[in-house]
Structure 1
Amino acid sequence: MFTVYLVDDDPGVLKSLSRLLHAKGYDVKPYSSPQVFLEEHDETIPGCAILDVSMPDLDGLEIQDVL
Structure 2
Amino acid sequence: MSTTLKDAVSSIKSLSVPSEPLKKVSEELLGKYEGIIPPEKSSTEFIKDLRKTMYGKVKE
Q: Which has the larger share of helix?
A: 2
What's the TM-score once normalised by structure 2's chain length? 0.23
Structure with larger RCO (C-alpha < 8 A, sep 6+)? 1
Give the TM-score of the pair, scaled to structure 1: 0.21
Task: Please state which structure has a larger fraction of its residues in strand.
Answer: 1
Work out which of the two has the higher radius of gyration on C-alpha atoms and give 1 or 2. 2
